[in-house]
Every structure is written in C-alpha cells, then in structure tokens.
Amino acid sequence: MFRRFCILLRCACFLSAGFLAAQPEPSPVPPVAAVKPVTLEKFGHARIDHYFWLRERDDPEVLQYLQDENAYTRTVMSHTQALQDTLFSEFRNRVKQTDVSVPYRMKGYFYYSRKQEGKEYDILCRKKGSLEGREEILLDQNEMSAGHDYFSLGSWRVSPDGRILAFAVDTVGRRFYTVLFKDLKTGSLLADRIPSVTPNMAWANDNRTLFYAQQDPNTLRSYRILRHGLGDAAESDKMAFEEKDETFSCYVTKTKSDRYLQIISTHTLATEWQVLDADHPDRPFRTFLPRRMGHEYLLDHHDGHFYIVTNDSAKNFRLMRTPEKRTARSVWEEVIPHRPDVLLENIEVFKDYCVVQERKNGLIQLQIRPWSGAGSHYLDFGEPAYMAYPRDNHEMDSRLLRFLYTSMTTPVSLYDYDMQSREKRLLKREEILGGFDPANYRTERLYAKAPDGTAVPLSIVYREELKKDGGNPLLLYGYGSYGASMDASFNANRISLLDRGFVYAIGHVRGGQELGRSWYEDGRQLKKKNTFTDFIACAEHLIREGYTAPDRLFIEGASAGGLLIGAVINMRPDLFKAAVAAVPFVDVVTTMLDETIPLTTGEYDEWGNPNDRPFYDYMLSYSPYDNVEPKTYPHLLVLTSLQDSQVQYWEPAKWVAKLRAVKTDSNLLLLKTEMDGGHGGVSGRYKRYREAAFQYAFLLDQAGIGK
C-alpha cells in the first residue's frame, strides 16, 4: 500500500477526445491543497493524513480551497457551456412544467400537488369531499423558499380532524428541521415552533399532541422521541423515549388503522417496536417485543391483531400475527411461511385484503391476499426489468390498491387496481414531450459472472438500433450497500444520453437486497469487496458482449455508491474511461474511527467496527482514500456539498487533493462543491436540471460528443 506522499504542481494536459483543441491557452492550473501532515495511529499502525485539516468547515483557508476548486472546475468545463444549456433545455422541455399530481383520498379530503411553469417547488393542495370542491392551498413552497439558497420541505402531517398542519422545513441542508404549525381553517401559522429536530413526526388522536424525533447535534443520530402539545413552548416538551444505545436510532410513526402510535428503534441488524394507544398520548409506550441482535421485524395493525414481518427463523422473512393485547413471541401464529427463493419486504393492509410486497429473482412482486383466504393472486407487470410498489393507500376500507409502476422504457405510471374484480386502471403516466416513443428503446436483463461464480444481474437500456460492436459509450451505475435494492426505473433526463448513443446499465451488485437477504449479507462487513468485484464483473461482461469498450465505459455512484466508484478505480483504473462520484464515502477508516460524526457507531454492523483489528485491516485494504497510488486514473468528476450531513464534504475534498498530488496521468480531475447544498445536492427542480446538465456534459465531453 502506498504510504509515501508528495506534491506535484503541474498543468493538466487534458488529452480527452476533442478537449485539447477547445481549451484556451494557457491551460488552467489545478489548485494545490496545502500539506499539513497528521499522524493517525491504531494498533501500532500509523497513517499519515496530509489533508486532515480540510475538515475544519469554518476555516477561511478551507473555504478558499473549495472555492478555488470550484473556479477551476468552471474554467475547465467552460467550453461545454453551450452543451450544458442544450441539455438543460432538453430536460426542461421534455416534461410538463405545469402539471398536477393524481389526488389521493385521506379522511374526507383529496390531497395533491401542483407544479407551475418557472417555479422551483411544488404547491401542496387539497379539496374537501370531491375533486369538484374548492381548492385549498396548504403550502406554497415557492413562497416559503423566498430568500433562501436552499430549501427542503421534510415530512408534513395533518391532524386527524383535518384542522392543523404540522410541517418541517430545512433552509441550510444539514437536515436540522424546524417544525411549524398551520391552522388550515384560518390559514394562519400558530405560534408553536420546534427548532433543530428531524422531520419525523406523528399525531395522536386528540388533535393536539404531536410526537417528534430529535437528533444528537453532533452525530445527527435520531435518539429521542418527544411530546408536543399545541400552545406549549417547545422547551417544555416532555420526552417519551430516549434511545441510549449509540448503535440504534429511533423514529415515531402510526399504524394505518390509526389505532396505535409506534416508536421504532433501528439498528443495521435489529429492531425494537413500542406501541401506544393513540387515544391516550399521555400514557407510556409499551414494548411490543424486546430487541434481540439479529432479529428484524416490521409491524402493522388490523382488526385486533398486529401483523409482523419478521426474520425470526426466516432469513428472507415471513409474516406472523398476534392479538394486539398479547404480543409475546410464544403467541405468534404464522400467516405466510418463509421461502428460500422469495424475500418478503413489506405489507399493505386493507379491511378485506393484505397486499404483500415480495422480491423474487431480483424483481418486485405484489401478491393480493384476501383475508378470507380465497383468491390470492399476483399482479403481472410483463417486462424483464421494472420497479413497482404500493403508494398513497391511506384508506383502510377500500378495495382499490394504488401502485406505482415504471421501467427503463416506461415513464412513471400510477394505477388503481381493483382487488376484487382484478381490473387495472391507469390513472396517469408521466407525459414525456418531444416525440418520445418507448418503441425506440429496448431494455434487457443480463447476468455477469463474478470471480466466485455468482451470477450478478444487470438491467440495461439502449436505442433499438444499437450495434454491439464495442463502439458504444456506456454509463454503468452501482450502489450495493445497506440492503438497498436498485430497481430499474425511468429517468426522463436519461433520454439525452440514450439519444446520443449511450447505453445505460445498473449493476445489481451484492450489498443490495435484490436477490434476497443473502445478497445483502454477502456484500457487507468482511465480505464488502464482493460489491466491488461484482461491479468489475458487470463492466467486463458488458465489454465482452460488445455493448462497449474500456475507452467508452463510464461509471457513476453516489454516497455509498461513491465508495464503490473510489474502490473500483483503485482496483481496475484501466477498465474505465471516466467516473462520476457524488457525495462519495471514500475515507472509510478515518470516518468509522470517529464516533463524533454521522455514519459511525450506528453503522458498525454495515461496515464493521475498526476498533477491532480484523475490521480495521479489512477496511484499510479497500478504503479509496487510503489506497490512492501513483498510477493512471480515469477522468473523474467528484461532487459534494458543504452542508452534507451524511458524507461530510471533507471526504471527497481530501480524496481529490490526494489524487491530484499522487496520480501519474494528466486526465481530468474535477471537484465541484455546492456551497448551499445537502446530501442530495441542490434544491429546486430547475437547479437540479442545471446540475444534471453539468454531469451529462462532463460524460458527453469525455465521450467526444459535443452536441
């Protein structure tokens, strides 16, 4: 592993196709970060971190360095401005700029949102009784965002009687929200104000008690649930629960039946639920089932019973139930048994039906199960790769299941499915303007062979006329962490790549949960490298099958997916032309040893605890920052946000500084820091169009496509 460190001050030659001729003379000089060595020791092993100082967020020298990098990036990318403008126009003109969402019914009201041409944010509305009623504007986010460079509306909850709206707002990007209250009858804000909390909240049935979650100001771990009574000062709010185990976080929710409030304590590999009669918010919560490491379960309520999705003696989970007053494990009875080839992900309960969300062969299935026991069946989606899940089903007494469906060639579509008649009705499909025809595109499901022989799924989309001659630019996306499954879905912006000859692919690598619980377990902790070798196998398979070639292959990942990008360009830099790493988690060892920041104690079961020598050594063997070496790297665009609360900006900043000093090539290396963004980047749809246009311009430029 490379330990020697040096600073190379040099001008970039920028040899990418079509780039040199377009550059002004002289070529811009990349910024050089100051070297301030800090020795980090563990187990008698010393690491020299020359850029540890970049973590001082308020240091003027740090801010100046980030601004210098931004200025350099703007200069280097200035020749693509016309392309960026073209892409922005394509994104904007491809979707309807004035539009209305499909209303959903909840407690006598129809709720929906509106977009207006030229406005950054949605307007939230409702109508009482019917869609012909008078429109009531709940929140106009465009007015609320005035004067703020960043604006995020977190969750919002209407009191059971429909009178009071509680909503959470963040105007910085650090995910510290202020909860406000609006009287929907008068249209006025109440004096109540709860600052510096999470957006997680739930109403009790008395219409005046709101439960909410508060985070630790340093680690951002959600660790307390408090009660707020309307009219009371936030300082007097009483604590309902405190999660003292630093490896757990806690949240509050409510059963769909409205019968129970619930507190969920979550750990990577364990959960514990507490319940409280929502009619009596002043009483204490009672534990449903005490936590046990390795036991994960979900909970909902229906007709006097709790229904439990549990992995107890069931790696891929099974469905159990128990009377609401008798929750001991010995009382549970099985409803759906464990199946080794099917992952049971969730349930949606109705008065007469239970909808079971499952995953088989990497694809979501929706099973309709009448409580009567007769007539169980599955929905048929008819495509090789897709995404589908229940959405906006707030009414228990309904035989209509609303679900979202999309694929790589099918825009986001919302359906109502009559569970009794088995009739499906399309309510709305995202309208793609500009002559989009799904028949012009083809989607496939492929399988790559990992080094250990495992078949790794790939979802892929391209223009119908594609020739598999190795000459196509291809963008391969990956994530592979936390058991998060990356399903094949539609992205209107992506058409701008496909229509310029790109292939787009998703590698469903281990660390996700596409192929069941084992798929996740084989890509975490001491098996984390499977995620990286799976991704490399996907790349090699796409090359071998003629979809692309190494000098035409581009890769992308964000957050933990950015870790994936950092790892694979260390392992196989020869395999890729260019990479985009967004908010990348690349300084794994240093971060996981620092218990004062997010992404540490609560995630030991995801990455391992580096205070244990085996985990320390293993993390050190793949951590992108620690494994930068003097060799040729692909062209690289790194994106971060100064206010990111999940992956701190200094991780990508340090990584870029080290790469710039050590790598031996003259390939492009760009760092772009959003000074007013969060983990998800900028806020506002037009700002996001601009950001996407910038990223696409980088890819197209490296592919030699200038228009």
Catalytic residues: 559, 644, 679
Residues 654, 30 contacting (CB under 8 angstroms): no
Specify which residues 504 forms β-bridges with.
461, 475
On whether the CB atoms of residues 619 and 683 are closer than 8 A, the answer is no
Report residue 307: phi and psi, to 5°.
-110, 130
289, 358, 275: which is closest to 317 by C-alpha?
358
All residues at 6 or more sequence positions from 227 whose CB lies less than 8 Å from its CB, including other chains: 209, 210, 211, 237, 238, 239, 240, 281, 282
Of 688, 661, 693, residue with least CA distance to 677: 688
First to last CA, the chain: 42
State both tokens at 232.
Answer: 């009371």
CA distance 243 to 300: 22
Backbone angles phi, psi at 557, to 5 degrees: -160, 155
Phi, psi of 68, deg, nearest 5: -65, -40
In contact, 161 and 169? CB cutoff 8 Å: no
Rounded Cα–Cα distance for residues 189 and 584 (Å): 39
266-293 b/e (C-beta count within 10 Å ≥ 16 → b): bbbbbbbbbbbebeebeeebeebbebee
Q: Apex CA 403: angle with CA 382 and CA 311, to 5°? A: 90
Tally of CB atoms within 10 A around 385? 24
Q: Are the C-beta atoms of 267 and 605 separated by less than 8 Å?
A: yes
Count the neighbouring beta carbons within 10 Å of the beta carbon of residue 229. 17
Tokens (6 digits) for 106? 């909840």
What three-state secondary structure class fits 321? Answer: strand
Neighbours of 137 (CB within 10 A): 13
Can you tell me the distance from the alpha carbon of 200 to that of 419, in angstroms, rounded to the nearest whole number?
Answer: 32
